[in-house]
């Protein structure tokens, strides 16, 4: 009998784990999750910061890398690339079984490069070559400077996970960058059938931001009705409608032509799907976002909640009028969703950059401690 995660896969939605650590690899946790039906892994600087500084699991490789006279970024990469490579190897059977649809592990470029197009392209190219595995995705944030970097990397055949997408306008630019990159691949004689990309649309942070604004409106006397807890899923459902429109191969268009040469759709990936508001169901952002050709990346605790949940069924349909009405109502209350998503992007980049800086600071402290002890 299929479990809940396998039922989602049967409906066309892949579940990836939003966590990675040396302990998960060494203790068989990733293999256990794969056995449950999890078919991919994502990581980010915050995840690695917690993993590396929160345990002694990295002490031995840290000492070894320190002996190689690496700088702090070199030590960080030595620790992280080893985890990414091993996770990719453990997921390789999934990649083969799904013909390259799933089985991926994601690694983010240095978040300090979020506003540096050329730096992001060089970093993404270098990391992808260093790992030398087709089931690796390089994560690039959806900033103004990230968009041309995404197009350039796709054009070189580098798999890309576009991260930190919040707005529909930016999502359209992400889609266009992917299609343009594929067209470059074709012009350069590359096999587009092996180029993979996902577009990571962040979910719960939208509700956290909008709900706080709605609470302020309510306290000032406005009638907010049932709007709290609606914006995030409405935003994602509108994004899915955009995905279906842009990747429809039944009508003539840029992607339809690419599809005849084996190009794959750039699947929407629902990220930040752990619930921040304890009043909401722990599976709010899984139950409400089930649709074909999508990925939902879940932290371990949410995976367990899904496993303990009920039967899965498609929950995104073609009736998006209610979703648009949600934003119309927000606008009538003076809440500008574009201003909200712009701030979320800026804040998201800062969170990842701060985590990266904190990790380097912790590695520096550890390096000095070992030097003093020696």
- Which residue numbers are catalytic? 139
CB 100 within 8 A of CB 86: no
Read off the tokens for 275. 């619930």
Rounded to a whole number of angstroms, the distance between the first and last alpha carbons of the chain is 57
> DSSP class of residue 193?
G
Read off the tokens for 288. 């409400």
Residues counted in the chain: 374
Spatial distance between the Cα atoms of 313 and 133, rounded to a whole number of angstroms? 34
Of 188, 181, 177, which Cα lies nearest the Cα of 142? 177
Of 45, 46, 47, which Cα lies nearest the Cα of 300? 47
3-state SS, residue 167? coil
Spatial distance between the Cα atoms of 100 and 93, rounded to a whole number of angstroms? 10
Read off the tokens for 114. 């979020």
One DSSP character per residue, 206-260 reads: HHHHHHHHHHHHHHTT---TT-TTTHHHHHHHHHHHHHHHHT-SSS-SHHHHHHT
């Amino acid at each position: 009998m299929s479990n809940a995660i396998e039922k989602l896969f049967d409906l066309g939605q892949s579940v990836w784990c939003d966590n990675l650590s040396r302990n998960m690899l060494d203790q068989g946790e990733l293999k256990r999750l794969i056995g449950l039906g999890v078919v991919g892994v994502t990581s980010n600087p915050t995840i690695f910061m917690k993993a590396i500084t929160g345990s002694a699991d990295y002490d031995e490789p840290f000492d070894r890398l320190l002996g190689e006279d690496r700088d702090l970024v070199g030590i960080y990469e030595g620790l992280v690339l080893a985890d990414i490579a091993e996770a990719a190897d453990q997921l390789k059977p999934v990649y083969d079984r799904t013909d390259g649809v799933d089985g991926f592990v994601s690694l983010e470029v240095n978040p300090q490069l979020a506003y540096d197009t050329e730096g992001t392209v060089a970093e993404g190219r270098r990391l992808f070559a260093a790992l030398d595995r087709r089931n690796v995705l390089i994560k690039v944030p959806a900033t103004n400077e990230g968009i041309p970097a995404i197009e350039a990397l796709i054009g070189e055949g580098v798999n890309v996970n576009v991260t930190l997408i919040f707005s529909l306008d930016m999502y359209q630019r992400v889609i266009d960058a992917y299609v343009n990159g594929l067209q470059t691949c074709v012009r350069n004689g590359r096999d587009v059938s092996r180029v993979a990309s996902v577009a990571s649309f962040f979910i719960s942070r939208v509700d956290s931001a909008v709900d706080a604004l709605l609470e302020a409106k309510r306290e000032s006397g406005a009638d907010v009705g049932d709007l709290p807890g609606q914006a995030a899923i409405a935003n994602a459902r509108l994004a899915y409608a955009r995905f279906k429109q842009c990747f429809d191969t039944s009508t003539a268009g840029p992607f339809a032509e690419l599809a005849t040469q084996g190009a794959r759709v750039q699947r929407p990936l629902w990220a930040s799907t752990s619930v921040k508001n304890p009043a909401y169901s722990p599976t709010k952002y899984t139950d409400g976002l089930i649709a074909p050709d999508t990925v939902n990346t879940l932290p371990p605790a949410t995976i367990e909640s899904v496993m303990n949940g009920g039967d899965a069924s498609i929950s995104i349909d073609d009736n998006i009028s209610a979703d648009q009405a949600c934003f119309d109502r927000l606008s009538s209350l003076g809440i500008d969703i574009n201003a909200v998503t712009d701030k979320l992007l800026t804040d998201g980049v800062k969170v990842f950059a701060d985590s990266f800086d904190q990790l380097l600071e912790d590695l520096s402290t550890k390096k000095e401690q070992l030097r003093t002890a020696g």
